[in-house]
Structure 1
Amino acid sequence: MQRKNRTSAEPSGSRNASPQHMASLLEGCGVHLTPEQRRQIWTYHQLIREHNPELNLTRIRNFTNMVLKLYADSVIPGRLIELPSPLLDIGTGPGMPGIPLKIVYPHLDVYLAESRRNRIAFLEKVCAALVADHLHVIGQSINRSFEQPMAGVISRAVGRIEDTLDRIHGCLAEDGLAIFMKGPQCDEEIQSAINRFEHGYKLLHNIPYRIPGTPHARRLVVFQRRHAPPGRIKQEAMQRFSTRRIDSEQNEIFRGLKKLLSARGIRKQNQALLSGWKQVTETLRDFPERCVGWISKADNDPPPAGAPDHMVWYQLAPLLFQAIDQFGTHAPLLLITVPPLERWEPPFGFPEGCTVMVPFQDPENVGALIRSAVAFGATQVILLAESAHPYHPKALRASGGAVLRARLLHGPALHEIPADLPIVPLSTHGKNIAQVEFPSAFGLLPGLEGPGIPEGLKAQAVSIPIEAAVESLNAAVAGAIALYVWSSIKADR
């Protein structure tokens, strides 16, 4: 009878199983246990043996392999790096690596995350049997909505690194460690995670190792979080900023925001909506005095730590946010002030360098040409009467934020530009731009979309040679090429 029980507890090849043998194997791996730790690891092993036939906790059944490939492997991270606490073992399964780590490093506050009900019951039984303080079971799946603060997360599961980094978005603390126990062939997986989370995480460690007593190569990959989790940022933001919760489309603030999707609303309110995470981030950094509102979907995505305190945080109901998120970015919008534009008249002439004159009625063309003007070092930009508003959402987006960096002026209508000014008009017919000698101070004038330039300016027009199969270039593209040619000549002088 005793023989039968021993065989069912330890299969063939494991008859040397004992607490002493286990301790000896672990000592060969550099893991030295106190008597109490020996009791705990042996108790854990016995519980796995007892429940494995029913719960399929592990496919490894040989005693030596269990000690080396399960228990010793689980605690190796503690020998390679300093483990943070509290530490969340995500996808713990039968409790690895969390339970062996807790036994060997009793100072750790360890949380075991498992969603399968029968395994939750098993983990709770183990915790009770070990009589260990600060060992907890979280009976749920971990996803972005889980916000209990953790200094570290460790995973021995087979899931991809980038998927796990996404799942712990809500709980891993700023500077917290995401620790992955991976196989040796994980370079592509690491690079994919770096590419996706380059602004949120940095690769801190990439350590190759072997499980002692086995030929198995492993890799310990550790990412460190750069920023605080959204829960903490949200809590701090609620204290720092004045907030406005908006749930009705009849709300006056919402109606005002919606009007900013048109040039008329922008002119009336002297404000504009900026979208796109890169532009929003750069504007907060470089023009904080012009940032007056942070607009998010409900209380998601709070203002970042570096945002100016004078901003108001507008929290829009999802459908309301969707109505003003014109480009479907799903990222927060920035409400900025629009300064009044100085007036330019022909008698003022042009300062040294290139003045770009913009007649475009398409806001995307306006934004694109302003972007080129800033990129190639134009002195100023004059928006003619025909021009779309430079702070129209489409113009702002096309400019990549360059509208805020340009010196903008408001000018007369295209037909009011006198021919005796030093102007370089662009047309499909004219002198080859490669042969043009640009004045030291001049106005670059692309034609209006469709009609082109006025008749009175055609005599001095220059052209950009293109293949006959193409009738003309996009006006903003033609302007960008002309600016490049001018800046190249200027640089060679």
Structure 2
Amino acid sequence: MRPGRESLESILRRCGIHLERAQLDRIWTYHGMLREANARLNLTRIHNFENMVLKHYVDSLLVLKFVPLPSPLIDMGSGPGLPGIPLKIASPDTHVILSEPRGARVSFLGEVCERLGLDGVEVYPHKLGPDYPGTVQGVISRAVAEIPETLDRVAACLAPGGRMLFMKGPECDDEIARAGREHAGLFRLEADHAYEIPGTEHRRRLVVYERLDGEAPGRRGRTEPEPAFRGPAREVSSESNPSFRLFRDLLAGRGIRKHGQAIVAGNRIIGEVLVRYPGRAIGWISPESGPPPPETASSLTWFRLAPPLYREIDVAGTNSPLLLVEAPPLPAWSDEDEWPEGCTLFIPFQDPENVGAVIRSAAAFGASRVVLLREAAHPFHPRSSRAAGTALFQVPLLQGPSIHDLASAGVPLIALDTSGPELSESPWPPRFGLVVGLEGPGLPEPLRGGPRRRIAIRPDVESLNAATAAAVALHAIATQRRAE
């Protein structure tokens, strides 16, 4: 049979497996990724297209004809994602944990989950055993080891009433008998389904055990670990991983504008965002050994980066988890729109830290809005967001023209300059724009010819830092408003 998506669908239907179009698309994409990666990772010894479909995808999906899948379900020794990936595609509501200790395969599984857009699936990059943190409702094993040995390994991580599903060949009676003698106190044989893959002579058995009450030997005498993270997780170990490429893009304003996302650093800031603006959070980024998202943020995708990749993304050197957040496009400022009461602050700062600092000041002193002029660094640049904190979400941010093209027909634009009246010498208008010059060059000539205010400083000091000058002016405006 000629390889192709239609041939894939035909074989599945012939075997009694009927999937929706989107599910078939994902199986076909997964097949392509498996074939492409097999040459370098040795993921499967089966190369014939029809045999791959029958012995990998059909074999995995036939489980659904005999038992409902428990959730969460660990795919023990997942390898290239079999049977876990096909089962997750066909049963999207099942939370699937792919347990695989080999690093190259862990990376492949992460790329598959990312490419297929699978939610409610995580990769556990370890061998499954008594040290697994927490318990689950189900484990499935596809010819990993003999039944008694496997029951020993999973007893501690299966909750009472949970199910252990074995995908076996036809000759496993001796294993079942030995398991009955050695594990009668902890497991009960619940079902033993013998079947053939339709249209072939491949005989299979699905053997199901129920976990009974009782303490597993591996649990005795040790402290119960913290519960495992149950949200979606992605292992990122390669520079070619799509998630890593995204994170690297987000280190610059161009990437933030392109993707509409940004990275926030700093434990205190991240904690405040999760409490006050949880809807803006998308993902949790940490090293492989880093802590998981807090329980209150279990819906976030957890990106576990290899240490060198994490160090490249952690530009602030926090050595702590980072937060992936939404950074939607800034609305365009127009002089023709209605001006709000108070101060509209226009900033052209090219230094991201200055941008972040002045946004924090604008929020603290009650500026009506901040307009980022074309010259300004992106407010969600990592250095800017670290300086601004949650002020990024507190004050309205807009995108404006170049400082050289800035003009207003009806509302005064007051430039902060070294000449002109002092800040508090006369009242501020009910509505006005406050314009701060570029670091270094200062204000363009047209703005120097209009209304100006200055900050009185000692004559032997040349000038203030631009962000500091803006903060002083915003404080003076707020003080005068309160006095009025």
TM-score by length of 1: 0.51
Deviations 1:11-50 (A, max 9, x none): xxxxxxxxxxxxxxxxxxxxxxxxxxxxxxxxxxxxxxxx
CA distance in 1, matches of 2:481, 2:458: 27
Q: How does 1:258-407 map to 2 (within 5 A)?
A: 258-309=248-299, 311-348=300-337, 350-407=339-396
CA distance in 1, matches of 2:325, 2:260: 9
Partner residue, 2:210: none
Cα pair distance change 1:147/1:244, threshold 3 Å = closer
Structure with the greater alpha carbon radius of gyration: 1
Partner residue, 2:440: 450
CA distance in 2, matches of 1:405, 1:231: 41
Cα pair distance change 1:148/1:481, threshold 3 Å = same
Aligned with 1:354: secondary structure?
A: strand
CA distance in 1, matches of 2:133, 2:237: 28
CA distance in 2, matches of 1:417, 1:252: 39
CA apart distance, 1:328? 0.9
Q: Does 1:435 align with 2:429?
A: no
CA apart distance, 1:236? 3.4
Q: Does 1:477 align with 2:464?
A: no
Partner residue, 1:39: none
Q: Does 1:491 align with 2:473?
A: no
Deviations 1:317-366 (A, max 9, x none): 11111110111111000000112211112233521111111111111111
Deviations 1:59-114 (A, max 9, x none): xxxxxxxxxxxxxxxxxxxxxxxxxxxxxxxxxxxxxxxxxxxxxxxxxxxxxxxx
Gaps of at least 5 residues in structure 1 are 1-145, 150-229
CA distance in 2, matches of 1:412, 1:301: 43
Partner residue, 2:171: none
Matched-pair contact (CA < 8 Å) for 1:346–1:417? no
The one-letter code matched in structure 2 to 1:345 is: S
Matched-pair contact (CA < 8 Å) for 1:283–1:401? yes
Partner residue, 1:193: none
Stretch moving more, 465-474 or 330-339: 465-474
CA apart distance, 1:251? 1.3
Q: How does 1:76-475 map to 2 (within 5 A)?
A: 232-233=225-226, 235-237=227-229, 239=230, 241-309=231-299, 311-348=300-337, 350-418=339-407, 420=409, 421-459=411-449, 460-475=451-466
The one-letter code matched in structure 2 to 1:300 is: G
CA distance in 2, matches of 1:469, 1:256: 48
Aligned with 2:349: secondary structure?
A: coil
The one-letter code matched in structure 2 to 1:265 is: G
The one-letter code matched in structure 2 to 1:333 is: L
The one-letter code matched in structure 2 to 1:487 is: A
Matched-pair contact (CA < 8 Å) for 2:257–2:329? no
The one-letter code matched in structure 2 to 1:431 is: P
Q: How does 1:10-49 map to 2 (within 5 A)?
A: none
CA apart distance, 1:413? 1.1
CA distance in 1, matches of 2:263, 2:429: 38
CA apart distance, 1:256? 1.1
Cα pair distance change 1:232/1:427, threshold 3 Å = farther
TM-score by length of 2: 0.52
CA distance in 1, matches of 2:483, 2:459: 31
Count of aligned pairs: 264
CA apart distance, 1:300? 2.1
Work out the percentage of aligned pairs sharing the same amino acid.
44
Matched-pair contact (CA < 8 Å) for 2:282–2:301? yes
Aligned with 1:374: secondary structure?
A: helix
CA distance in 2, matches of 1:324, 1:399: 19
The one-letter code matched in structure 2 to 1:359 is: P
Stretch moving more, 346-355 or 287-296: 346-355
CA apart distance, 1:418? 2.1
Gaps of at least 5 residues in structure 2 are 1-130, 135-222
Deviations 1:390-423 (A, max 9, x none): 0000110111221121111111111212265412
Matched-pair contact (CA < 8 Å) for 1:358–1:446? yes
CA distance in 1, matches of 2:388, 2:132: 37
Matched-pair contact (CA < 8 Å) for 2:133–2:228? no
Matched-pair contact (CA < 8 Å) for 1:266–1:392? yes
CA apart distance, 1:231? 8.1
CA apart distance, 1:283? 0.5
